[in-house]
Structure 1
């Protein structure tokens, strides 16, 4: 488990540089000490500040990946780097800044920077604590087996909800087990996952670390749509149960189902793009197109402008997927898929579906974070239940966020799935996307969605 994850470190470095430059700008513009208000070489001071902060960050860039430190511990880390920054500023100032540079100026803006950093850190900490407390970012975890090590691991998860895991219970890999402390047997995993909303399994028993047993366990978990983590103990178990743990350093995890988007840095990259792209679409397209379409939909048939349907998202969690309403209001909307020449589809709805315009409101889903611009298409809950029983790795596509468009869609596999092979092809393309994802592939899919003929094939 990488405590100094590059994605987190990069994010905080960018945040620090933004706050630092803001502090320098404010002091230049509004300082009550006017002697350096008109410094002719301001860009040199900005450059000096940024280089100093990057050096300080390299010298002391400790960051906890799981946000498990208490606020006072994080404040200590920031304060140590603040002292290093001051020392770096004056050392580099003697070397690179003009003779007689304004030392008070350095102290002024670094004080502002420290103030900004402490306040920002407090709100970031509270935000993450709130999300974990409400379960917005929790993985619901079951532990395979109930030996002493597993019970210690269960205690850690119970005592530290801020780790991002909600401990559900133990699953037995034996035929005879204690039903009082066990959820059930491993061969009951699909039913247990559904009943207890489990989306991750922790495994500590070395017998599952062999190739043969790993294949068997992964086959079962992939069919069920569960993520697997092998938990490696590092010798810190002794004496850890008598107190609440504030660090993930008591165990390390290995991911045997590794896909590119398991990398936090890549997820941040994808999420940043999603946020910018969805914001641009909402601001520059949806803002003026919505009133026009809203009037047309209301004039064309009675009912709401939007159609909201529960669909399966990442980690098998359900979310409300938003679309423009393209059908007359009917009781079969959540169970019956649209067919060619479907009498339920309105005239304006037929046009919207043909050119994918009915999907535009899903950019709000992207903005909120329960969808991505590109990913496997989300299906209605009935289809998730139906096809997960027929297609072996159907639920693996839920390892990532669903998308407005996807690799299967731009290759023509969209719309009606009246034959099983059509859904099998969708899953095949979705699996390829998961296993080989890269950012440029997302750009290619967006481009193919806009101009490719296959993106509009089988629309209905």
Structure 2
């Protein structure tokens, strides 16, 4: 099996487990009670619980204790689901060989789990299914990683050599740091291991960006147990050897972008059809009666990747020359009476659901800023530009946490950015739902900074 087919290993394991389960049930189940729905239930339940328990997340460096942990977690869930079937669908039904079936399934699938684990190690020890690796740096930690690659052939790593700016008389030294990029472009490299102690922050960022572009796995070799970022986690290749794995963030996965976009479209359509359709004519009359000017206020804001887009809001101020330069402040004389109500209830933001339909914004995300203010914030706040890797939102984690409206001091924008980055690094669909619910609750009880 060549490396390009490695992605089929886990799906194949899942298929074999499902086939074993179905065959065992078919052979042992009382034929008078056997039905298609029970087999379908077991199949779906196994797929769902194995995803929840990460049952198939076994890698070439996974230790035997980790395997036992996965088995215990998965079969605990499976046992609950197995017996729940009779309580939910066949209440009162007694099948004499229920425990026999469950015991045979459990034993068979555990044996199959270890069979795959041992088979792959044997297969890799013979030089198959290898991952080509290079190491950046040659300190003691890097040497331990190299030693592991050479001594543990069953892990399936093909060590190509190392790079270092220091002089070493070692035939496995390929070149200096700045030669890594050309080497990787000309050779097949699957994983890069980088020693933190030998490289600057700039070099680490440069390699991280390069590895992401080339879809190469980057792992950091630490000289301490400190983790440097939320998107990193510790992995143990042996009882004492630790590396830091650079994990992908939620929005690096295409399926998450699709999930978020589909939700944005349906949620925005609902708001536009059932709220904006009747609210806009009413507000048009009220806004026009109090002040001259259009109902919709248009303003340039920074969006995805820092690109500008036109952001829509219900106009809440009298026409003035400072709307693109100065945030609204408490008791701002520019705000009209109907505008004060719109801002207090956050109804002035509703037209941004049209921005969401156009694809310029998302329902949830970092709030978009004016370009002039954004340039100012970049000077004072580290990692400010990370906010631009996702679409801006109508509401966000920072807003429901109390950081909305006027920026009075440096800590206001720093805390807002901190929460925005936390959202990006920890996104989930349920987090979006939680933020929407909290936003509605905040609106209903009134927000102090909504002016």
TM-score, normalized by length of structure 1? 0.48
Q: Which protein shows a greater Rg? A: 2
Higher relative contact order (CA 8 A, sep 6+): 1
TM-score normalised according to structure 2 size: 0.49
